[in-house]
Amino acid sequence: MRNNKSIYITIIIIGILVLVGYLIVRNNSSEDDHDHEMVENKVDEISTVTYKEVALNEAQFNAAKILLGTFSSKNLSDVIHANGYTKLPPQNQADVSVFANAIVKQISIIEGQKVQKGQTVAILESPEFAKLQEAYLTSRSNLEFLKLEFKRQESLNDEEINSRKIFQKSKAEYDIEVSRNQSLLRQLQLLNINPNASISSTVAVKAPISGYITEIFIKIGSTVEPGKSLMNIVDNSQLHLDLLVYEKDLNKVKPGQTVRFMLTNQGNEEIKGKIFNVGKAFESDTKSVAVHADISNEGQKLIPGMYVNALIDIEANKTDALPLEAVVKAEGREFIFILEEIVPERKAEDGNAIKEKEFHFLRIEVKSGTSQLGFVHVDLLQSIPKDAQIVLSGAYYLQSHLIKNDGGGGHAH
């Protein structure tokens, strides 16, 4: 009886030990499966965050105004910052005026209009113009008579037929009339009056230079006076920069160096220039020196007096750079987008519907550096093909489109 009881207790203990061992093994297996699942999820998460793809149809691509391109070589470090203004040389500015009193009869232009040198801009009227022409024509007739008389007296004098006094008087009268005639002719030329035209009381006012009318100070019936400005003309084709450089940077600046600046009204296009002169005296109020630079870009719509914040390149140390808007920030990091592929229009699997053309973009992680004039130095943290097309404009649209897809997941690539 006692032996049977001992056997029964032994069996119970063995059963308990087997059950405990089974539970331990099962628990360890569950933990391993859980850890493995966490590792897989982490790998998927890293892959999803690092490599994300965005697909746009053709309509979305056009609406986003995406601009593709590649890196630009920019000097973003060895530069001097300088402020200044666009300025015109004196020979490219003109005041239109006249040399006589008159009344404005007609105005042929308006402010902002482009005019060519010699173009009529106004018509003036005065009886003095007719009197001046009359005096010139009278002088010209007298001059012809006095010239003939002088030649006659000169011939008689050579033959000693008349007295020396009569000859000298004839010569003096002729010389006086020559001077008077030349003076009247010059006055007519200054007033733009044709000396050979018929007598008129009106005069055409001509533009002294080609350019744009900036201000008009007269109206129909206005009285004009000698030296009084009627209007202003400027020729912006020869604009240059006047920059102020402080004493600490003066020894680094010299003619021939490149100047770069941007204006918001020029579509953020970089405008270049070249220094042609460095001032030799300090500005009394700012203790800086004026540096003058020609503007190289053609076709820029610049006007005098525009404020500029420019960079003077003192060394050629260029680096790969992208426009600031090409770099987007997300998840505490920085990214750019590249064009991965263009999928052409195709038939769907059912053979009926047509799938639209698609543009596939891949997000690439980068690290940005120095930025100047709308460009930033970029280091790639992931390799991309050498001929990769980078999204220069529209990257923020792609990032927002990415966030909308599955809560920002997109699909792993």
According to the model, what pLDDT value does residue 27 have?
Answer: 55
The residue among 219 and 27 whose pLDDT is bigger is: 219
pLDDT in tens, 97-117: 888 899 999 999 999 999 999
The two beta strands, 79-87 and 307-313, are antiparallel
Own/partner long-range contacts of 5-12 (Cβ < 8 Å, ≥24 apart): none
Q: Which of 238, 266, 267, 250 is nearest to 82 (CA)?
A: 250
pLDDT in tens, 303-346: 888 888 888 887 766 778 888 888 988 888 889 899 888 888 77
According to the model, what pLDDT value does residue 408 have?
Answer: 44
CA 309 to chain centre: 12
Band the pLDDT of 151: cuts 50, 70, 90.
confident
pLDDT (average), residues 230-249 = 88
According to the model, what pLDDT value does residue 345 have?
Answer: 76
Considering only the top CATH level, what class is 49-74+320-412?
mainly beta
State residue 132 phi and psi, 5-degree precision: -65, -40
pLDDT (average), residues 356-360 = 86
CATH code for residues 79-88+239-316: 2.40.30.170
**What are the beta bridge partners of residue 309?**
83
Residue 134, Cβ neighbours under 10 Å: how many? 12
User: What CATH architecture does domain 96-234 belong to?
Assistant: Beta Barrel (2.40)
Question: CA 295, 300, 301, 307 torsion: positive or negative?
Answer: negative
Q: Which of 148, 150, 142, 153 is nearest to 177 (CA)?
A: 142
According to the model, what pLDDT value does residue 139 have?
Answer: 87
Q: Which of 360, 356, 357 is nearest to 341 (CA)?
A: 360
Q: Which residues of 369-382 are buried (b: 16+ CB within 10 A; e: fewer)?
A: eebbbebbbbeeee
- Are 239 and 255 contacting, i.e. CB atoms less than 8 angstroms apart? no
Q: Where are the domains of the chain?
A: 49-74+320-412, 79-88+239-316, 96-234
Q: Burial level of 279, CB count in 10 A (0-12/13-18/19+)?
A: middle
